[in-house]
């Protein structure tokens, strides 16, 4: 991660941002403001991402995962003890509406079971 030291810029770059702007960082410049920066991290670990064709080739070489037929834990969930946020997360995972009061959310989840 890199944050430009100039208060007029204050750009922040995560690993992907550094990778995408590697040329400017190698030149000792902030990609956003262009001002000279003193880079204090190892740029050698940030390599350019491979071309899409290379990624496709790599993916073709990876064997397909075997389907596991074991049953998923079917233990009943006590929805009453869940928070509204947890209920909404469970509904999102199931592609269901997250609107309504807690009782409505619980009812919707119980119908899905």
Q: Is the pTM of this model over 0.75?
A: no
Domain assignment present for residue 90? The answer is: yes
Domain assignment present for residue 71? The answer is: no
Cα–Cα distance, 45 to 68 (Å, whole number)? 36
The pLDDT tens digits of the residues spanning 66-81 come to 444 344 444 578 888 8
The pLDDT tens digits of the residues spanning 6-49 come to 878 878 888 778 777 877 877 888 888 888 887 766 666 666 66
Cα–Cα distance, 111 to 98 (Å, whole number)? 14
Domain assignment present for residue 61? The answer is: no
Domain assignment present for residue 66? The answer is: no
Helix runs in 1-113, H state only: 15-20, 22-26, 52-61, 84-93, 102-112
Structurally, the chain folds into a number of domains equal to 2
Class of residue 33 by CB neighbours under 10 A (exposed 0-12, middle 13-18, buried 19+): middle
Domain assignment present for residue 101? The answer is: yes
Domain assignment present for residue 69? The answer is: no
Domain assignment present for residue 55? The answer is: no
Residue 41 structural domain: 2-50
């Amino acid at each position: 991660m890199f944050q430009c030291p100039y208060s007029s810029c204050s750009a922040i770059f995560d690993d992907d941002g550094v990778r995408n702007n590697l040329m400017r960082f190698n030149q000792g410049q902030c990609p956003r403001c262009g001002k000279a920066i003193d880079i204090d991290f190892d740029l050698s670990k940030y390599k350019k991402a491979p071309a899409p064709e290379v990624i496709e080739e790599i993916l073709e070489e990876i064997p397909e995962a075997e389907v596991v037929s074991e049953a998923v834990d079917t233990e009943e969930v006590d929805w009453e003890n869940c928070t509204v946020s947890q209920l909404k997360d469970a509904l999102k995972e199931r592609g269901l509406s997250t609107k309504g009061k807690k009782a409505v959310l619980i009812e919707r989840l119980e119908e899905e079971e």
